[in-house]
Chain A
Amino acid sequence: MNTNFSRRWFVKSLAAVAVIVSFPGVVFARAKGAFNAGKTNDVVDVLFGDLPIEESTEITFKLPDIAENGAVVPATVATEIEGVTQIAIVIDENPNPLSAVFDIGEMSLADVSTRIKIGKSSVARAYVKTSDKVFMNSREVKVTIGGCGG
Chain B
Amino acid sequence: MNVKPVKIRGRVKGVVANIKCLMPHPMETGTRRDDAGEFIPAHYIETVTCLHNDKEVMIAHWGASVSKDPYFSFKIKGANAGDSVKVSWVDNLGETSSGDIVLK
Contacts and interface: CB of A to CB of B under 8 A. Distances in A.
Same complex origin of A and B = yes
Contacts of B75: 108-109, 111
Contacts of B60: 100-103, 112, 114
Bin the interface of chain B by size.
Answer: 20 to 34
A71 interface: yes
A63 interface: no
Interface residues of A, number: 33
Contacts of B59: 102-103, 105
A42 B31 CA distance: 21
A20 to B, nearest CB: 21
Interface of A: 31, 35, 71-74, 91, 94-96, 98-105, 107-109, 111-118, 147-150
B68 A96 contact: no
28 contacts: A31-B61, A72-B68, A73-B67, A98-B63, A98-B65, A99-B62, A99-B63, A99-B65, A100-B60, A100-B61, A101-B62, A102-B60, A102-B74, A103-B60, A104-B58, A107-B55, A108-B50, A108-B58, A109-B16, A112-B60, A112-B72, A112-B73, A115-B66, A115-B67, A117-B65, A118-B65, A148-B29, A148-B32
B103 interface: no
B50, B56, B65, B77 — which one has the most chain A CB atoms within 10 A of its CB? Answer: B65
Contacts of A114: 60, 66-67, 70-73
Contact of B57 (A100, A108, A117, A149): A108
